[in-house]
Amino acid sequence: MSHIARFKVAPFPLEMHKARIVQKINLLPIKERLKAIQEAGNNTFLLRNRDVFLDMLTDSGTNAMSNEQIAAMSIADDAYAGSETFYRLENTVNHFFGTKFFLPAHQGRACEHILAKTYVKPGDVIPMNYHFTTTKAHIMECGGLVEECFLDEAVKTTSNCLFKGDMDMDKLKAIINKVGKDHIPFIRIELGTNLIGGQPISMRSIKEVSAFAKKEGLFVVTDASLLADNLYFIKAREKEYKDVDTLTIVREIAACSDIIYFSARKLGCARGGGFAIRDKRFFDDMKALVPLFEGFLTYGGMSVREMEAMSVGIMETLDMDMISQGPEFISEFATMLQKEGIPIVTPAGGLGLHINAREFLPHIKDEEYPAGVLATAIYIVSGVRGMERGTISEARNPDGSEHIASVELVRLALPRRVFTLSHITFLTDRLAWLYKNRDLIGGLKFTEEPKVLRFFIGRLGEIGDWQERLMAKFIEDFGEDAL
């Protein structure tokens, strides 16, 4: 956001947009909230949205669209093959990234599916700054392994490191030496590393990885789903880029990547995804899988209306007023929670506010899932739906033992341009109450545990009756009728 003059007030995130369409939301009584979360197997993914007050599960496909995006939907050209909508999108993506080729897919994980099927074989290892759940699942489905090369600072929840998403080059070199280049199909860079709190990678690190990969004859795949936040952070935190325009920064990132893929549920505030590619070799490697898994090459499983919205949304990512809103709003929320002494991930990142569940609930063992527990407790006391990003989100080790996550976080996603300061004031107040009463909170255990991506549809049960006791304390403090 540009510098806004203020007379008396401290800096605050000022929205450079206004709401013209709104959706009514309901806050259920606490007894109904408890029933809803228990019926959902204590998994916030399984709650019905009608039972949710503020839906902070994810920023994926839930960002507010602009009026320009909605308007663009009405000019969509509907054709199975060769629609004008596709060519507009192809031009936009290639202009944005400075690439030559575009392959459409219905969302980010669909790109990961095609990428893994094309390049990963059993015994391969894919080094990356940090994994994402669906990325890792697709690589493992193809018999590959993920090796993370993150900075030690990345998993320190309280830190002054401005680019926790940077690649640790010593770890990267060590992995390549250990497994040999023949078993490294590519190096993956994730922008705005999701699972460690939406933390950015610096341009310095991106360039370093790219130069190293070139020297070693390896190729680089960049997951640009969270590019909008990362772009903001490069401009705001990396001195050399303060005065560089956003399009130049995007193209510099892209120039360091052989294949770029993205979820347009995040980048572009629509629902879709795709690849941007410079070298025809990679396009040819993957293109046959698009009609097989996604849809014809000119729609890739997306509706043409969404494709039009995506073209506009991608270009709006170049507007600092647009991309600063999320990170600045999250930073304000972080400051409010810190004033209450609530342990959060610092520096605040993109896509959402991240609470450090291990510190919030030091009495809960990792095997009883502190982040999962905290997500259910937050729903019970506030009706707000967050997401567990900890051990439940990890896959078990091949021997069946728990893979304890490096960080146990509850993510309160802040879909772009959706919530207001009064919403986070409400939530800060509830979190402060919960923090004061945290000793009442107990553990969870799996009652139904799927083998793959268990966090999506797995069900858990409370250990003991802590949820009923938490509700009783809420009623004691606020009264029977309080919402």
Binding region for ligand PLP (CB under 6 A): 60, 107-109, 132, 134, 190, 194, 223, 225-226, 263, 265, 273
DSSP class of residue 130 equals S
Q: Which of 148, 256, 265 is nearest to 202 (CA)?
A: 256
Q: Shortest Cβ contact with ligand PLP: which residue?
A: 108
Nearest approach, Cβ of residue 268 and ligand PLP (Å): 11
Is 87 in the active site?
no
Nearest approach, Cβ of residue 219 and ligand PLP (Å): 18
CB atoms within 10 A of CB 362: 10
Whose structure tokens read 């896959």?
395
Q: Which is nearer to ligand PLP, 266 or 305 (CB)?
A: 266
Nearest approach, Cβ of residue 142 and ligand PLP (Å): 16
**Residue 194 has which token pair?**
């999701």
Is 12 in the active site?
no
Q: Which of 420, 422, 380, 388 is nearest to 407 (CA)?
A: 388
Catalytic residue chosen out of the listed positions 101, 150, 163, 455: 455
Catalytic residue chosen out of the listed positions 53, 130, 132, 419: 132
Catalytic residue chosen out of the listed positions 77, 118, 133, 287: 133
Nearest approach, Cβ of residue 297 and ligand PLP (Å): 19
Is 455 in the active site?
yes
The string of DSSP letters for 378-432 reads HHHHH-EE-EEESGGGSPPPTTS-----S--EEEEE--TTT--HHHHHHHHHHHH
Nearest approach, Cβ of residue 482 and ligand PLP (Å): 35
Q: Which is nearer to ligand PLP, 60 or 157 (CB)?
A: 60
**Residue 340 has which token pair?**
């209450």
- Going 385 to 373 to 137 to 277, the CA torsion angle's sign is positive
Q: Which is nearer to ligand PLP, 88 or 266 (CB)?
A: 266
- Going 34 to 38 to 39 to 43, the CA torsion angle's sign is positive
Q: Which is nearer to ligand PLP, 33 or 109 (CB)?
A: 109
Backbone φ and ψ for 190, nearest 5 degrees, come out as -110, 120
Nearest approach, Cβ of residue 266 and ligand PLP (Å): 6
Q: Which is nearer to ligand PLP, 157 or 222 (CB)?
A: 222
Neighbouring residues of 464: CB distance < 8 A, sequence distance ≥ 6: 442, 443
Is 132 in the active site?
yes
Q: Where are the beta strands (DSSP E) in 254-407?
A: 259-263, 273-277, 352-356, 384-385, 387-389
The string of DSSP letters for 54-75 reads EE-S-SSS-SPPPHHHHHHHTT
Nearest approach, Cβ of residue 453 and ligand PLP (Å): 11
Q: Which is nearer to ligand PLP, 286 or 336 (CB)?
A: 286
Nearest approach, Cβ of residue 3 and ligand PLP (Å): 31
Is 266 in the active site?
yes
β-bridge pairing 273-277 and 459-462: unpaired
Residues 462 and 45: their CA atoms lie apart, in Å, by: 17
Do residues 120 and 339 lie in contact, with contact meaning Cβ atoms separated by under 8 Å? no
**Residue 235 has which token pair?**
């401009």
Residues 419 and 427: their CA atoms lie apart, in Å, by: 11
Residues 428 and 426: their CA atoms lie apart, in Å, by: 6
Whose structure tokens read 């991608």?
314
Q: Which is nearer to ligand PLP, 60 or 92 (CB)?
A: 60
Catalytic residue chosen out of the listed positions 266, 271, 305, 385: 266
Q: Which is nearer to ligand PLP, 302 or 470 (CB)?
A: 302
Q: Which residues are catalytic?
A: 80, 132-133, 223, 266, 389, 455
